[in-house]
Amino acid sequence: MNHILYEPTFFEKDDKILCIFGDKPFWIVGDKSLKPIVNFFLNDLSFDELQTILINDFKYSDKETKETIETIYLIFDSASLFSIQQDENYNPIDIDNNPPNPVINVTRRCNLKCSHCYADANNGQNASQELNTAELKRIIGLVMSWADSKHYDRRVLLSGGEPFIREDIMELIQYIADNNGEPFVNTNALLIKEEYMSALSKCKAELLVSLDGARESTHELIRGKNTFDPTIKKIRRLLEHGVITKLSITIHKDNLSELEEFIDLAVDLNVAQVAINPLNILSRAKDSQLQRVNLIEFYNTLSKISKKSSRHMYYVERSDYANVGAILLMNLKFQYCGVGSASLVIDYDGSVYPCYNTMISELKLGNIRYDNLDSLWKTSPLLKKLRKLNVNSFSADCQKCPVKYYCGGGCRGEAYFTNGSFISKCPYCSDMKTSIIDLMFQLSGQDNQMFQNRVHFFQEKQVFYGQRRLDSWAWSKNI
């Protein structure tokens, strides 16, 4: 008889048992008879001993005993728990030749001074160091040629600071559109002039407008006085002009309870999409009173909202927050957050950084004014170092953690900001651990509709940075 070659960790909740094989990774939830069955497959119980336990303690019939053991054998076999050759199908992606779609921060200036801003915008920066129009057009061309080399959409992401503070912003957006690109602008919307509206619509620009609450007091807690009504007015004007308008909300402890109202508002406005992002604790957010929400609280809120209507589901299931659920359902081996493999930022002064959570001088990769972007991506010693990050090296706790390959060790930028090291422990580790375990119990109740869209997305992509993909996935409600 084959036996399992991976160490299990058991958790108990109500009448259920969760068994995680952390090093694989694989997880399964069952009733309490799961534990002796796993012990049998570990060779810790003989068949006769197992049969006696199942019949006496769990009232299994002979037929049930046989069928259950056969079923579990098939599940464990399909999860490759009986062999250690599970990485045979692993095709590492050629990261050098798969650059990401960089974010271009066109300015660090801003009309607002939000309390959470990772860019620390509007803190004395001026226009003198900013890339000029010609420099930005060259960079936009480079970014589009990268997209061409990978046969991706020619999407160009502009952010900041506030992009619409630049006098030439419409010229840049038009330039992208005229060159068969897709302009995508992250904005607070307040500086969008009425005369820009029809041009934005004609060139099919996508605007991701930040709205940090459904009510004035919540939005303005982050964004400052007299910002809510004007933002809503701008969103309405954009929609009236047929501009592709999406909303972006940063979730923290004081606006989570308003998330349902926020999605109701999105449904009412009929925006194209909603981005729901966790608060990252770095830069200005670190000095603010804002607090991150627990992952599981967040999922419970989203799950409830997603059931309100098909439109609510549409918005919720497209949120990046659905990633963790999909990773659990697919048993993806998530080795780290992907900084340096899946992200890049070109900042307002031409500085290049690994991602927007690592925009500090000591982590600068080079400058687009003097360096070749392609060779920075291929040869930067820091990027090469980041690409080797692995949750097993983040702390002794991570190494033996049963959910390590589902967690991936958290955002490395936040770890660096908090502890000054890329291999330090994630600042919200205990939340990740308990939330992921709770989520496994919840998913075993088959309440996973809101993650299916992401599952399909990952399946289509066939690749997920920072992890290894396994073919098999399964979980069990009742064994």
Ligand X SMILES: C[S@@+](CC[C@H](N)C(=O)[O-])C[C@H]1O[C@@H](n2cnc3c(N)ncnc32)[C@H](O)[C@@H]1O
Residues of the shown chain interacting with ligand X in the complex, contacts defined by CB under 6 A: 110, 116-119, 159-160, 162, 186-188, 210, 248, 250, 277, 279-280, 285
Q: Which does 280 bind (CB under 5 to 8 A by kind): ligand SF4, ligand X, none?
A: ligand X
Strands (E), 228-304: 244-251, 273-278
Question: Is 160 a residue that touches ligand SF4 (CB under 6 A)?
Answer: yes
8 A C-beta contact, residue 117 and residue 283: yes
8 A C-beta contact, residue 315 and residue 273: yes
- Measured distance CA(267)–CA(414) in Å, rounded: 33
Q: Which does 359 bind (CB under 5 to 8 A by kind): ligand X, ligand SF4, none?
A: none
Q: Which of residues 176-205 bind ligand SF4 (CB under 6 A)?
A: 188
Count Cβ atoms within 10 A of the Cβ of residue 107 and give its class: 0-12 exposed, 13-18 middle, 19 or more buried. Answer: buried
Question: Is 227 a residue that touches ligand SF4 (CB under 6 A)?
Answer: no
In the complex, least distance from residue 33 CB atom to ligand X, rounded to whole angstroms: 44
In the complex, least distance from residue 159 CB atom to ligand X, rounded to whole angstroms: 5
Question: Is 119 a residue that touches ligand SF4 (CB under 6 A)?
Answer: yes
Q: Which of 17, 200, 259, 407 binds ligand SF4 (CB under 6 A)?
A: 407
8 A C-beta contact, residue 292 and residue 428: yes
- Measured distance CA(471)–CA(86) in Å, rounded: 9
Token pair 């900084």 is found at 339
Residue nearer to ligand SF4 on the CB measure, 65 or 231: 231
Cβ neighbours for 176, distance < 8 A, ≥ 6 positions apart = 140, 144, 154, 156, 182, 183, 203
Report strand pairing: 345-346 vs 103-105. parallel
Q: How far is CA 226 from CA 51, 216, 229, in A?
A: 70, 8, 7
Residue nearer to ligand SF4 on the CB measure, 36 or 163: 163
Q: Which of residues 231-270 bind ligand SF4 (CB under 6 A)?
A: none
Q: Which does 248 bind (CB under 5 to 8 A by kind): ligand SF4, ligand X, none?
A: ligand X
Residue nearer to ligand SF4 on the CB measure, 121 or 376: 121
Residue type, 154: R
**Interface stretch with ligand SF4, choices 13-21, 237-245, 346-354, 405-413 (CB under 6 A):** 405-413
Q: Which does 432 bind (CB under 5 to 8 A by kind): ligand SF4, ligand X, none?
A: ligand SF4
Q: Which does 122 bind (CB under 5 to 8 A by kind): ligand SF4, ligand X, none?
A: ligand SF4
In the complex, least distance from residue 231 CB atom to ligand SF4, rounded to whole angstroms: 10
Q: What's the DSSP call for residue 391?
A: G
Q: Which of 8, 181, 354, 409 binds ligand SF4 (CB under 6 A)?
A: 409
Q: DSSP for 203-245, please give it.
A: TT-EEEEE---SSHHHHHHHH-TT-HHHHHHHHHHHHHTT-EE
Residue nearer to ligand SF4 on the CB measure, 113 or 369: 113
Q: Which of 432, 443, 470, 479 binds ligand SF4 (CB under 6 A)?
A: 432
Q: What's the DSSP call for residue 477?
A: S
Residues lying near ligand SF4 in the complex (CB under 6 A): 110, 112-114, 117, 119, 121-122, 160-162, 188, 391, 394, 397-398, 401, 403-404, 407, 409-410, 425-426, 429, 432-433
